[in-house]
């Protein structure tokens, strides 16, 4: 059979549908792994220095006190920092805990010293304390952002969000990665670990 222009034209819709289907399959697979978020907003702070923000107080009256967080803390970094914005009222924040405890907390003691810092977004001290106690969160610093102003400086649109900040001896600390939604193992392996390998 000789292929005419008509045949090629008839194949166009099928090709278009196949392309769309492939795209949807890609999005669906990566969405379930946490590596694709259709509502994610590209953070303009990416690749730039840490934004200035008013110092965040520590959570008061803790059995094992965890220091608060300030802008200056990011200038004297000696190790990469994973900064998590979370809240006790946020369910995905709870979802990421098992992964954080297993991988990030373990990572801190082995080859790549990665510090886990937290910003508690619009929460009450009692609820945040209760949540931390239940979750055994491995934060080494925790700032309370009661009015959510710090989150706005960072361009956070919701909880959880996370930022990877790498120290740099010459240019100062830089935000190199930003993620929305729960941290998953796939996300960590594909997007965060390559930066850590480069930093060592």
Partner 1 sequence: MRVCLKGLLLLAVCLYGSSIGHAIDSPDEMLPDPVLEQKAQHIGQQLRCLVCQNESIEESSAPLAKDLRHIVRQQLQQGRSPKDITLWMTQRYGEFIRLQPRFSASTALLWLMPFLSLMIGFLLARPLWARRTSPPPAPLTVEERQKLNQFFNKD
Stretch that binds partner 1, among 2-10, 16-24, 27-35, 142-150 (CB under 8 A): 142-150
Stretch that binds partner 1, among 20-28, 44-52, 123-131, 181-189 (CB under 8 A): 44-52
| Closest distance to partner 1 from the beta carbon of 39 (Å) | 6
Contact with partner 1 (CB under 8 A) among 21, 44, 60, 106: 44
With respect to partner 1, which residue has the nearer C-beta, 154 or 177? 154
Contact with partner 1 (CB under 8 A) among 6, 39, 110, 169: 39
| Closest distance to partner 1 from the beta carbon of 158 (Å) | 6
Side-by-side strand order, sheet with 161-166: 141-145, 115-121, 81-86, 161-166, 174-180
Q: Rg of the Cα trace of the chain?
A: 21
43 near partner 1, rule: CB under 8 A: yes
- Which residues contact partner 1 (rule: CB under 8 A)? 39, 41-45, 51, 122, 147-149, 152-155, 157-158
């Amino acid at each position: 059979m000789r292929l005419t222009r008509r045949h090629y034209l008839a194949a166009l819709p099928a090709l278009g549908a196949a392309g769309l289907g492939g795209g949807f399959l890609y999005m669906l697979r990566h969405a379930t792994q946490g590596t694709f978020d259709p509502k994610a907003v590209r953070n303009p702070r990416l690749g730039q220095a840490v934004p200035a923000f008013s110092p965040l107080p520590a959570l008061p009256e803790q059995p094992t006190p965890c220091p608060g967080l300030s802008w200056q803390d990011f200038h004297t970094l000696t190790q990469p920092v994973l900064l998590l914005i979370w809240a006790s009222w946020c369910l995905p924040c709870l979802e990421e805990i098992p992964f954080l405890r297993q991988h990030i907390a373990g990572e801190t003691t082995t080859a790549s010293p990665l510090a886990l810092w937290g910003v508690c977004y619009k929460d009450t001290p009692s609820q945040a304390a209760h949540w931390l106690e239940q979750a055994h969160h491995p934060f080494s610093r925790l700032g309370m952002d009661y009015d959510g102003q710090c989150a706005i400086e960072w361009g956070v649109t919701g909880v959880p969000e996370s930022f990877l900040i790498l120290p740099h001896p010459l240019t100062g600390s830089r935000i190199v990665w930003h993620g929305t939604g729960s941290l998953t193992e796939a996300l960590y392996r594909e997007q965060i670990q390559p930066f850590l390998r480069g930093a060592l």
